[in-house]
Amino acid sequence: MTETATPIDLGGRLGLLLEPLDLLFFRDGRPFGASLRGESLSTAMPQTLAGAVWTAILQAYDCNFQELTRLVRGGQSFREAVDAMGLPAWIAEVETRGPWLARVPLKTPADAVPEVLFPIPSSLHSPKKATESERKLIRLTPLATADLLPGWNLTRTVAEPGLRPLWHRLREATEPAQGFLTPEGMRAFLHGDDVPPNTCLKDEALFGFDHRTGIGISAGTMTAEESLIYTASFLALRAEPSKNRQVVLYAEIQLPEEAPAHVMDGIRTLALGGEGRRVAVHRAPAPFDFAGLSARPSSAHRNSLVVLSTPCPCGARWKPAALADRVVAAAVPGSVPVSGWDLARGGPKPSRFAVPAGSVYFADGELTNLPSCLADSEPDRRQGWGCYLTGVWNDDSNRC
């Protein structure tokens, strides 16, 4: 990949293309040790990206990391420690978004725009027994109140009173669709249109895993430890030379007003994820137009929905506090364990769980005054937890 365009700076918002220099390894919060397989996620957690960006910026300003660690372990916040060391205060205000999988040309032309890919929304299903040629995507929407299932009681639902079941009018058996949507497919979903099957991409078309076996080494003798064999699965993003394109990671940085616009120009690589793996950093010609995909309620589609594009930690377990009591139905397929190692404090971060990307929340009417990210806490929003897109749906779309 080469850079030939002059990047556009939209009010401190920078788009970054992160090109792997090797295999990548992104762990979640599951244990990993002897006799266990460590499996990489398909993309990094938001906190991994944020940590990599902050570290690179601090290195560019010759930060004394030992002093930073001492201050943080002494009880100061990251913001307080940055200020105490005389570093630019805006560093603590940098916000990150992503990362997302994206496709770009192998040699990026001047007008190239990354094709950002999104996990398929959890409310999209596909027929269980359909052949590849018969494949289609089926939309689930909240069942109308007048047509609730026998035995379904709005005042005594398991998750929360007032929630309605998701439903479709077809008789065939379905299962949650798997993979990723192109921008065209996501735009169709958000605007209430049928999602073209050819906009759905399978995982294996975008990435694979390289399985490797290792053994623990004694720190004292530098010899192999007995019974400490482990396996790790590394992420390998695909390249398609025949189609002149490759899969990379796309991320965004929001710089404060006082930050110099060229702050990322001297940063050529980032240490991203585990095992010391690095990615090359390229400035995108322009940030991706997420707003251009979203839709707002109209006379044709009266209600709102929200689709998470990055995981979202929630105090209420499955629903962001920003959505309050507006949710009438939700498609939340599970949870993502989140942990990590706090380098500044020299210990593990507390384990917690996040709602996975692709989760969908349905609301009556229009959702307004939503924050830029849906995570409950300000530090999580600064790291890009809970990025989302907004769409529409009709309350009578599942009337019998």
* pLDDT tens column, 306-325: 999 999 998 878 889 999 88
Query: Residue 216 in contact with residue 156, Cβ under 8 Å?
Result: no
From 325, 313, 333, 250, select the one nearest 285 (Cα to Cα).
250
| Mean pLDDT confidence for 301-307 | 89
Query: What CATH topology corresponds to 13-106+113-117+204-283?
Result: Alpha-Beta Plaits (3.30.70)
* pLDDT tens column, 174-201: 888 999 999 999 999 999 999 999 999 9
Which of 20-24, 106-110, 192-196, 352-356 has the weakest average pLDDT? 106-110
Question: 376 pLDDT exceeds 70?
Answer: yes
Under the banding of pLDDT at 50, 70 and 90, the label for residue 2 is very low
The dihedral formed by the CA atoms of 82, 83, 87 and 89, expressed in degrees to the nearest 10? 100
How much is the pLDDT for 28?
65
How much is the pLDDT for 302?
82
For residues 349 and 115, the model is more confident at: 115
CA distances to 86, 259, 313, 338, 350 from 77, rounded to whole Å, are: 14, 20, 21, 21, 17
Q: Give phi and psi for 298, each to the nearest 5.
A: -145, -175
CA distance 166 to 192: 15
Under the banding of pLDDT at 50, 70 and 90, the label for residue 3 is very low
The yes/no answer on whether domain 122-199+291-393 falls in CATH 3.40.50.720 is no
* pLDDT tens column, 15-57: 999 999 888 887 765 655 555 556 667 788 999 999 899 999 9
Question: 77 pLDDT exceeds 80?
Answer: yes
CA distance 8 to 124: 35
How much is the pLDDT for 111?
53
Question: 1 pLDDT exceeds 70?
Answer: no
Residues contacting residue 90 through CB under 8 Å, at least 6 positions apart: 255, 256, 258, 259
Average of per-residue pLDDT values in the chain:
83
Which of 82-91, 131-140, 166-175 has the weakest average pLDDT? 131-140
Question: 345 pLDDT exceeds 80?
Answer: no
* pLDDT tens column, 251-287: 999 999 888 878 888 889 899 887 778 999 988 888 8
Rounded percentage of the chain residues whose pLDDT exceeds 70: 85
How much is the pLDDT for 400?
47
CA distance 283 to 249: 12
CA distance 149 to 13: 47
Under the banding of pLDDT at 50, 70 and 90, the label for residue 389 is very high
Question: 341 pLDDT exceeds 80?
Answer: no
pTM exceeds 0.75 for this model: yes
Domains of the chain, residue spans: 13-106+113-117+204-283, 122-199+291-393
